[in-house]
Amino acid sequence: MNDDRFDSWKRHPAEREGIPYDDAPPEPVVPASINLPEITPKGIVLAVVLSALLAGANAYLGLFAGMTVSASIPAAVLSMSILRFFRQSNILENNIVQTAASSGEALAAGVIFTIPALLLIGYWHSFDYWQTCVVSLVGGLLGVLFTIPLRRALIVDAALRFPEGVATAEVLKVGSKQRTVSSGEFRSLLTAALMGSLVKFGESGLRLWSDSVEGMIQLGRSMFYGGINLSPALMAVGFIIGLPTGVVVLLGGVLGWLVLLPLDQWLSNPASAGSGVQEAKTIWSQHIRYVGIGAMLVGGLWTLVEVRGPVIRSLRQLILAYRRERTFEQGALIPRTDQDAKFPWVLGLTGVSLSLMVVVYHMVLNSVLASVVLTIIMGVTAFLFSCVAAYMAGLVGSSSNPVSGVTIATIMITSLALLVILGRENPAGPAAALLVAAVVCCAAAMGGDNLQDLKTGHLVGATPWKQQVMQVVGVMTAAVVIVPVLSLLQAKYGIGDVSSEHPHPLSAPQASLMAHLARGMFGGTLPWSYVCLGILVGAAIIVIDRYLMARNSSFRLPALAVALGVYLPLKLSAAICAGGIISEWSRRRAPIKRASGRSGTGHSGVLFAAGLVTGEAIMGIVLAIPVALTGFWPSIGANPFQVVDAPVWGGWLGVVGMIFVAVSLYRASVRSDIGLNG
């Protein structure tokens, strides 16, 4: 029953790529010979609740900052804290809960990067519930189904690091040994959530201070802008992703705002120089952000080139693994910890998902040929980009998932196909391209998250097919609740475009990027000179990064991270980098060795950061409810939380609050690292 080709691939795939891998992975906490309850009624209920909660929180964060964070660790802590009140619970049940919960937040990331773009291009005036639900559900399902055959290839055989999956497994192991998570860790998570929610209430609810501190210096004919956003969530994001990534994102912001923007203004528009911060933002929006688009396109394509070998081997692995599985009698000889969902189920659900999208695309385009072509493009790109996301998650973690780059590539490929089939004059072309990109984006977002969770399950001894079932549960939950959350946020803050009703909307940087790209492809208004400049910038960054890699430098310049910095408002990049600085300070103050063998901050620091994100996001959604109610029922009257139109104390009170949050985050991380949990 041995297949030489299978075994030769299995021996050293990671070494042949020059990739760090776990050559001696630890034995699972629960051996394959032991069966513990995994999918239980209370676990399903808790998983659904946490999935909905974390999906809403990540939706807010993504629309606000253009970035999302993994929720696996806070989901694991919450699960252990709640299940401790039941007499019967175990590590595998906790793992099942966090698997579904993190799947919900991952799907939300895919949705908010693309679906709001349909509003920004004017195709929708409000979120269409059923189309959004179907698109997000299909994208999430494809992300789960397409990564099932990758589990053995990337987790068992290649044994990649999957740092976030390993960290989550360590949290679950600690909770299992203590019978519950420590009271100090749970209290830290709740304290951080309360702190984040109070800051958000003071800024957005009572309007006591502005959301950022900004300024501009005039030098000759050029302006130099600077600013920082006063958001605990952004600082927490920077803490979680670390200083190296935070610095790279800030470098992209410096390149865009302090180099390209002044140069562009000096060369092309000197007469308008000196008109203030708003002028700088206008030039950035109309010109410089397209440089970021070009750079992200190059970064996404380069990522595909880098992972072409593992993707091809994974396809071969799928065929070989299926042949091996058929040699066993009804799976009886396959260990419990190596049983994936059955291949016929994968094929059947994939067929149903693709058929649903044919119907959706036909509703938009009213063309059978175009609908079938779009579905084929969607299926192929979703599979390829799910593989890319899964592989990148194994190397550097889900936080570095190149979702933006692959979505940009999808929009451009789809737009070119539609231009050939339907022509430029079809008004539904941009919407159709965005709907294809939405499915692919959701699939890619799910791909990285799913493999992280399956890595956690592999370390604790979970049953893979049960995890895959709960990933589908998390996807279904998020698909149902995401539209009401988006509608609330739109009513309270507005999304993307500044208006008299919403002077400070959620910037939705990723969705705005996709909307501009889709409109530009079909309208012929895409400023290709700036896009081409971005392509050159992206290529130059790749060359520099390869040089750093050849020199074995510890500092790298991933093209997608730099491009994201060019595209993001500088004030967001600055806040993210500030969080990275706090992470580095705490690491140097009390360094520890992570399970993956790398130094880093303790997981209680990560929990505190996750609490800040969750607290601010939940308060942002809560503050949206009164505004939404006044829109649905005018008799209720004005929004009771909108006390004043302008901040009372500018931004400086917010600066004081952020300093307090930063000190608290630092202390929480240092305490956890030196063993003083609680």
- Whether 225 is in a domain gets the answer yes
Contacts of 410 (CB under 8 A, 6+ apart): 377, 381, 385, 436, 437, 440, 441
pLDDT, one tens digit per residue, over 3-33 is: 333 333 333 333 333 334 444 456 777 887 8
Choose among 456, 397, 484, 398: nearest CA to 136.
484
Domain membership flag for residue 215 = yes
CA distance 276 to 261: 13
Q: Is the pLDDT of residue 639 over 80?
A: no
Give yes or no for a contact between 227 and 242, defined as CB atoms under 8 angstroms apart: no
Question: Quick one: 299 and 311 in the same domain?
Answer: no
Residues near 628 by Cβ (< 8 Å), separated by ≥ 6? Answer: 487, 488, 491, 492
Q: What is the mean pLDDT of residues 339-363?
A: 88
Report pLDDT for 477. Answer: 92
Q: Are residues 84 and 13 in the same domain?
A: yes
Q: Decide if 423 is inside a domain.
A: no
CA distance 664 to 653: 17
Tens of pLDDT, residues 114-165: 899 998 888 888 888 888 999 999 999 999 998 887 787 778 766 566 767 7
Are 451 and 320 contained in the same domain? yes
Instruction: Give the C-alpha distances (Å, rounded to integers) separating 193 from 390, 608, 651, 670.
Output: 30, 8, 22, 19
pLDDT of residue 346: 85
Q: Which residue has the higher pLDDT, 60 or 476?
A: 476
Strand-pair category, 212-219 with 222-229 = antiparallel
Domain-located, residue 234: yes
115 and 220 co-located in one domain: no
Together in a domain, 639 and 537 = yes
Based on the fold, state whether residues 44 and 14 are members of the same structural domain.
yes
Can you read off the two tokens belonging to residue 109? 């990331």
pLDDT digits (tens, 9 = 90+) for 75-101: 777 787 788 788 788 888 989 998 998
Give the pLDDT band of residue 634 (cuts 50, 70, 90). Answer: very low
* Whole-number Å distance between alpha carbons of 630 and 639: 7
Domain identity same for 437 and 351: yes
Residues 314 and 194 reside in one and the same domain = no
Are residues 18 and 112 both part of a single domain? yes
pLDDT for position 645: 45
In a domain, 23, yes or no: yes
pLDDT digits (tens, 9 = 90+) for 240-279: 777 887 888 889 889 988 888 888 877 775 554 445 677 7
Q: Let me know if residue 518 belongs to a domain.
A: no
Whether residue 534 lies inside any domain: the answer is yes
Range(s) of the domain holding residue 141: 4-178+307-395+406-415+428-493
> Cα separations (Å) of 42 from 85, 472, 677?
11, 17, 28
The size of the chain, in residues, is 678
Q: What type of residue is 186?
A: F
Tokens 């990337």 belong to which residue?
154
- The residue among 200, 392, 185, 193 whose CA lies nearest residue 302 is 392
Considering the domain architecture, whether residues 320 and 292 belong to the same structural domain is answered as: no
44 lies in some domain: yes
Choose one of 442, 474, 493: the last residue of a domain: 493
Say yes or no: 454 and 481 in one domain.
yes
Chain-centroid distance of CA 9 in Å reads 31
Question: With a threshold of 0.75, does the pTM exceed it?
Answer: no
Over residues 34-59, the mean pLDDT reads 87
Residue-wise pLDDT for 359-418, tens only, equals 999 888 888 888 898 899 899 888 877 877 777 676 555 655 667 767 877 888 888 888
Q: Quote the CA–CA distance of 166 and 459 in Å, as a whole number.
A: 8
Whether 350 and 295 map to the same domain: the answer is no
How many independent structural domains does the chain possess? 2
